[in-house]
Structure 1
């Protein structure tokens, strides 16, 4: 299940996504909810007490995006009181997190220091993909790993005119 109000249909289709869901659908229907969004005024506390209460008691929340997308106080309460089965957190509202952060003491919360995504292989893979996209862009071709189609259209249009 995917909820992304900004990703274009073409990009979703390229990823094999056949249906886009609402945030409520994803929260109510998923066993694991992972967050992959930038932090801005629209996404600050996107996941708060109301959203956490929508999740199944057997579900897990994983945040590797930005800390303030999830209200830490509400998440702590949800994990402690069993509204959700647990949480995996790699980012915090305040970094580094305070030593007395209650989530550290909860058995059903796994926390890491903003490095959960990183492996040697992941580092090399992302560098390779970036260079491939730079080569495509400089050749006047659309990059393969564009997230924002509107920006791609503007940038590639300019590149096509210059080539």
Structure 2
């Protein structure tokens, strides 16, 4: 079994490119993929919550379904997890406890990029403070923007999988 990889979904258009990159990386490395939906303030889907609603809206769960379908098509073992809002500590603990070696995230829009870099910096500090030396070498991959042909290929495969699974029922 290869390395453990975590994909962080953040609610931006870059989620698709990050998803494809993470699934392909896990496939090539024969690793396990953990998909995380976080709700950090500053663009990690926090705008979809109301003051009294602490559960994610359906869109984030649809993201999970899409990535799980694509991973299945590519023969990659994937599992999905939610991480609490504003919890860098919880994310760091997840990475450490699952021996994650690669973290894949989409590139945020320009106006959010400073916040993304700040959060990733905080995460790296938490990991470097961990007693396990292994975690200090976490590689962070910011997925590039996809070409239209790649998006179309993945979306058509996802629709095909959904069609096949509904025909079997």
TM-score range, shorter chain: 0.3 to 0.5
In the superposition, the TM-score normalised over structure 1's length comes to 0.32
Greater strand share, structure number: 2
Which has the bigger relative contact order, CA under 8 A and spacing at least 6?
2
The structure number with the bigger radius of gyration is 1
In the superposition, the TM-score normalised over structure 2's length comes to 0.31
Greater helix share, structure number: 2
